[in-house]
Chains A and B, each alone.
Chain A
Amino acid sequence: MGGLIMKTLNKILISFSAITICLTLLCTADLQAQKKLQNSPGGYHGEMDFPISWKQYYGYEEWTQIMKDIAKKYPKLAAVESIGKSRMGRDQYLITITNRKTGAAEDKTAMWVDGAVHGNEVNGITCSLYLMWYLLTRYDYDTYVYDLVNNSTFYILPGLNVDANDSYVSFPNTPHNPREPYRPEDNDGDGLYDEDQTEDVDGDGELSSMYIEDLKGSLKLSEDKRRFVSVEDDTYPGLRFKRLGSEGFDNDGDGRINEDDIGGPDPNRNYPYGWNMAAGNPYPMSEPCTRNAYEFHLAHPNIFATFHYHNTGRLIMFQVPQPVKASTAQQSQASGQYSMMGRRGMTAEQRLEQMRKENKYAQYFDRKVPREFQHDMDVQTNIVTMGARILKNYRPTMGGLSGQTAASTYNMLGAYSYLIELWGTPTFDIDINNDGRASEDEYMQWIDIEMTGEGWITPHKFNHPDLGEIWIGGSAKKHMSRTPPDRYIESEADRNAKFVMYCASQFPKVEITDITSTDLGDGLFWVDVTVENERTYPTASDRTKKLKLYDKDVLKFSSSKGVSLIKLDAKLPIQDPYQSSGGFFGFRGGGSRSSLSPGTAEETKLWVNGKDKKVYRYLISKSGGKNWVEVEISSERGGNHKMRVEL
């Protein structure tokens, strides 16, 4: 074989550059360039083209009007539709964002974002709206946004649980209610439904706590008379109190207050996967608002990844494959990519410590998954590592099942899914003694200084019709804990929008990056074709492969008449002396993920992983003068790309 001379011939004469199809479309005058392109980080990026105040929360009528108005302003990029009606008859409005000139929304790989499946977690609405606004207003100015909106689709449903969402913003409520859709439920088992709800007893527009004077009470007023604090000394002679609970009346006269509040099942336990009756009753997808959202997803298989906004906790709860069954799991053995780095025998904590020396956002999750799901595990780890960086003080953690939205998204539809617990106590502003905690005193100082005195309800007396003289107050107002106060809304939304956009930027994009040929003499040639996906996401998740939801990607070999393809055997190893010195590692391991696969037919079906590089080796015979071969990769989610070389 030594007689063979390897020659790299005619490297890429004609190369159809990236995103062939898109490029042809982009040639239309409309899209030639961004006319208002802004490169300066200090320059104008379109914020005032459609001004929205990010210093307040919006009721249903307001935020749906904003959606309709912005869609009117950007008709080529946005469209608003109702995906169905809620239990109380409100339309669930969804905005679809993509440049329709570069392809229909349903033909592009898509991101789904929903906010506030829990009624009170309306920060998800502002974050969703912000993403919408950012994509639309910056489109003309920002190349990153421009590419995203041209090449992918965003389906954004700002408020999922619209009935409770509107109530939370528009009426007096505690930070915790209303949370569920309005299916009637008999919480106390007295035979009546939702009959004893919370009320703003003193009519001050806030839903605070009620206290009653009690000689043996465990609480007293703080020195500044703004809070109820524990009585330390049991002989304390002053005024003492007992906490009664949230503001409300005894509506049904049973001696209890607020014991049967409005709301049925937890909507984030109402999805089919891992559903259980106790939490997600009465049956999976029983609530119009959850069902409409899920039906939309079912009807749009182009949805590749999903975000579901919640409050609070600053968490990135991402869906990962289920672990291998305990009996077969080798807990001590490192899993996945990490084991390839050869650092066995360390605990998860040790591993993480090691990794964080290089990257303080590094993530490692101690979960061994079945081999066929390892790529999903790796992809998710990579994505949330970046999420930790973009969102700063958010902690990635593996999500659960139990009928949660994200669990069904991943396990039943195969889309990569993320539940974001937005916001949390702003310790970074509150803590002044650097112990990493927000003490009550520090909190009150924060109210006075950063919050300029806003946000607190001072205790005051009130004559309650059921209870007589009571005290009301001593608590923060709505939008002070569950949902961030005005000044923090935009910063929270901005980081989260960037994370969603980052994920969309990692949607798969397949390319033929190289075609080289090697003359074997006697008119025979090896033609090596490199298929690459530089993005983090594969063309299909491991879960979609298992669920058989998608067709494989297709690699097509074509050539001029003088070239004939000799079909190789799929299993036999290719004899190639020039690769033997590299040995097994040359193609199988050693950092480069490439592998040499024999080209067995004109059409090859394959999956392309994230950050994947595959080399297909075709054997051809050539006769006559000028000849060419062309290879095209087409992937439903990774796009199409082809390359031709003259031989």
Chain B
Amino acid sequence: MISQKTFIRRFLFLSCIFLSLGALEIASAQKVPISFDQFHGYTGTEKYLKSVAKAYPEITELKIIGQSEMGRQIYVLVVSNRSIGTSLDRFVQLQNKRKENVRNVNPMENHQTKPGQWICASTHGNEYTGTEVCLYIIDKLLAGYETDDDLTDIVNNQSFYICPIVNPDGVYNSVEKGIPQRSNSLLKDDDGDGKINEDGPDDLNGDGVITWFRYKDKKGRYVIDDQDPRVMVRASRNAKTEKERWSMILEDKDNDGDGKYGEDGESGFDLNRNFPEGWFTKDGYQGGTGKYPTSAPETRALAEFFTNHKNIHQAQFLHTSGGFTYRPMGSSGDNSMHPNDIAVYDYILGKKYVEIMGADVPKAWLYPDSLSAYKKELAEKSKNKYAIKRGYELPRTWKVSYNEQQNKGYGYGLQADWAYMQEGVFSLTTELFNYRTDLPGHKFEGKNAYAEYQRAAIKYQEDNFGGKLFKEWKSFKHPKYGEGEIGGWLPQYGSNNPFPGEALLKICENHWQFEKFRAKLMPRVAIVSASGKVLDKVGKYKIVEVTAKVENTGQLATHLGNGAKLAMNRVDVVWLIGQRDKLTFLQGATWQKVGVLGGKAKIPTQSKGKNSAEVKWIVKVQGNTALKVVLSSQKGGTVVKDVDIK
């Protein structure tokens, strides 16, 4: 294991390199400057979030939603104007309450009463590009507040829940320690020797970093590149090759002297298989990870947060890599989804995403009126029954992880499946970074693309990072594998994350643009008018007919196709509020359901739901008692209006 001191030395050293590159991004005019010329890791992210929460108390709040196995906090930064918002529980006065007085219900906070957008990253610890995207989005929101009308409006009237690191231990180990760790950490005795996590990767040659050891091995999965012997090219077991085969492993010592290397590290299990949707196999056995769905503290933190924030309408789970987005579902096909949701996903979200990524938009999305022709065309040439039904194949940049050709699930217990199916949220899994396109100044195509990328990437870090991200191979005698060489990429680089700086910024900017687009699609309810007409006067009482006109002024409906039917969800309701002993309801219940208010956006292939409603009451009021109308929508917001009595 590397000592703390070595870490610090290494970081100071690397920081110097990055600083010498010059500021790649002039931070926006905001109070907590941030740059993206190095990965923030867990430590940097925590520091940034705390600074931001301190500097912007009016529009941010830092929440701890859970703790990892190793005791690191899972943070969510709420970005929303804290003084704007209202909630129903502030207007309804409860009388004659049960004496037991159990305090199990917390008052609603303002942010919970506004449409919510969840953005999280690094569920997989070694996929920390998303963390940077999260921080970039926070920076843009803060900078845009009170300088950009759209962003000011969004921060005032909507809530962002940004969780840059779902898996703190995985990120800490991957970035700070340089030990790539996809899973969470578990205090578990993997090898059954009675000791916990006693043998993880180590710095074998004492150069302060953990890189790779390569050695000749007949069963190896690599060969050395012809053009650049520093590059290791993957060669699958079955592939025929004349070249010598090599194996490549992380630098590692046998810490506990049991003859095995790295057999009991911190790594636990894949968090993105620990969610409750589709966790079991069809035969009733475990399909996903963990002892049961949500068994990991990280998974549970998310499940609990979504449960207590039913205002979340859209969610983004950032991963790497590939340069595309998966929309649900992964564990089942399109037939498990509401057709309206599929249309929103593809025609609205997908179209925009594909455009931002500079890829070709499917014809059907551009010309949905000709859908029947596309369907006919597909029926002849495609074997994908889902595509034929839709009228289009999903493009490479916007797809489902479910294998539509073979009708096979991608995995069990996926987070985006869960968020869509059980929480009723437009969820996405975005695989950031595509090595073919995301090395500045390059494009790689064809079957040698990866080797070409590797050669160019080594050159790139020489030009831009002083060659410090790639160690030259040096011979080393491994205690178990014998003669070989230590060197290669620092594990943070050259693999499934972009280089900090220009490449990272491009990804951040694209996905900020996309999330901004999504923010503008949110439902937003409004009370257009609330008026009272006095029908009669009886002594000190007035008989009043109250009419409220309500509307969803946002683009999308206040629920997904099946959203209102899910447990814990409800349709939009309108209450008439007045002092209880001075108000008697004669016609119309105190609160009335107005259903799910549709959005303004035209959704191809789907009929638009009604986006407005009228509610009436006839009530007896004493004197000049004031009346209010409150419209409460789980995902569309809560608004109040005084009744204008004439």
State whether these chains interact.
Answer: yes
Residue in B closest to A412 when the chains form the complex, CB atoms: B292
Which stretch, A184-192, A442-450, A505-513, touches the partner chain B? Answer: A184-192
Name the B residues within 8 Å of A408 (CB-CB): 292
Which stretch, A110-118, A150-158, A233-241, A252-260, touches the partner chain B? Answer: A252-260
Is B591 a contact of A282 with CB atoms below 8 Å?
Answer: no
**Range for the number of chain B residues in contact with chain A:** 35 or more
Q: Restricting to B494-516, which residues have a CB under 8 Å from any CB of A?
A: none
Given A88-B104, A192-B88, A286-B307, the answer on whether A199 and B593 have CB atoms closer than 8 Å is no
Is B591 a contact of A167 with CB atoms below 8 Å?
Answer: no
Name the A residues within 8 Å of B480 (CB-CB): none
Given A190-B573, A252-B94, A262-B102, the answer on whether A284 and B568 have CB atoms closer than 8 Å is no
Is A189 a contact of B292 with CB atoms below 8 Å?
Answer: no
Is B98 a contact of A182 with CB atoms below 8 Å?
Answer: no
Give chain B's interface residues, CB within 8 Å of chain A. Answer: 88-89, 92-100, 102, 104-106, 276, 279-280, 284-286, 291-295, 303-304, 306-307, 422, 566-568, 570-571, 573, 575, 580, 585, 589-591, 593, 632, 638
Mostly, the B contact residues are loop
For residue A572, CB closer than 8 A to chain B, the reply is no
* B104 interface neighbour in A182, A190, A192, A198, Cβ under 8 Å: A182
Name the B residues within 8 Å of A249 (CB-CB): 95-96
Is B104 a contact of A262 with CB atoms below 8 Å?
Answer: yes
Name the B residues within 8 Å of A198 (CB-CB): 98
A375–B590 Cα distance when bound, in Å, is 60
Is A189 a contact of B100 with CB atoms below 8 Å?
Answer: no
Is B96 a contact of A195 with CB atoms below 8 Å?
Answer: no
Give chain A's interface residues, CB within 8 Å of chain B. Answer: 87-88, 163, 167, 171, 182-186, 189-200, 249-255, 262, 272-275, 277-278, 281-286, 294, 298, 322, 408, 411-412, 465, 546-547
Given A167-B100, A171-B99, A171-B100, the answer on whether A277 and B422 have CB atoms closer than 8 Å is yes
Name the A residues within 8 Å of B93 (CB-CB): 253
Is A191 a contact of B303 with CB atoms below 8 Å?
Answer: no
Residue in A closest to B564 when the chains form the complex, CB atoms: A189
Is B591 a contact of A254 with CB atoms below 8 Å?
Answer: yes
A192 to chain B, nearest CB (A): 6
Is A283 a contact of B292 with CB atoms below 8 Å?
Answer: no
Write 12 A-B pairs (CB below 8 A) sorted by A numbering. Answer: A163-B102, A182-B104, A192-B89, A197-B98, A249-B95, A253-B580, A273-B284, A277-B566, A281-B567, A282-B307, A408-B292, A465-B95
* A284 interface neighbour in B293, B585, B591, Cβ under 8 Å: B293
Name the A residues within 8 Å of B568 (CB-CB): 185-186, 281-282
Name the A residues within 8 Å of B102 (CB-CB): 88, 163, 167, 182, 262
Given A88-B102, A272-B292, the answer on whether A191 and B96 have CB atoms closer than 8 Å is no
Name the A residues within 8 Å of B590 (CB-CB): 252-255
Name the B residues within 8 Å of A465 (CB-CB): 95-96
A184–B108 Cα distance when bound, in Å, is 12
A193–B106 Cα distance when bound, in Å, is 9
Name the B residues within 8 Å of A195 (CB-CB): 89, 92, 94, 105
A308 to chain B, nearest CB (A): 17
A264 to chain B, nearest CB (A): 9
A254–B102 Cα distance when bound, in Å, is 21
A465–B306 Cα distance when bound, in Å, is 39
Given A190-B591, A255-B590, A277-B422, the answer on whether A285 and B295 have CB atoms closer than 8 Å is yes
Name the B residues within 8 Å of A194 (CB-CB): 104-105
A252–B304 Cα distance when bound, in Å, is 27
Other A-B pairs beyond A194-B105, A197-B97, A250-B95, 14, CB < 8 Å:
A191-B632, A251-B96, A251-B97, A253-B93, A254-B589, A255-B590, A272-B279, A277-B422, A277-B566, A282-B567, A283-B422, A322-B284, A465-B95, A546-B285
Name the A residues within 8 Å of B580 (CB-CB): 253
A465–B96 Cα distance when bound, in Å, is 9
Is B98 a contact of A189 with CB atoms below 8 Å?
Answer: no
A196–B293 Cα distance when bound, in Å, is 33
Top 5 A-B residue pairs of the complex, sorted by shortest distance between their CB atoms: A189-B570, A281-B567, A249-B96, A182-B104, A254-B590
B285 to chain A, nearest CB (A): 8
A546–B422 Cα distance when bound, in Å, is 30
Given A87-B104, A283-B294, the answer on whether A191 and B570 have CB atoms closer than 8 Å is yes
A636 to chain B, nearest CB (A): 14
Is B303 a contact of A282 with CB atoms below 8 Å?
Answer: yes
* A286 interface neighbour in B284, B294, B585, Cβ under 8 Å: B294
A589 to chain B, nearest CB (A): 31
A163–B575 Cα distance when bound, in Å, is 32
A193–B570 Cα distance when bound, in Å, is 12
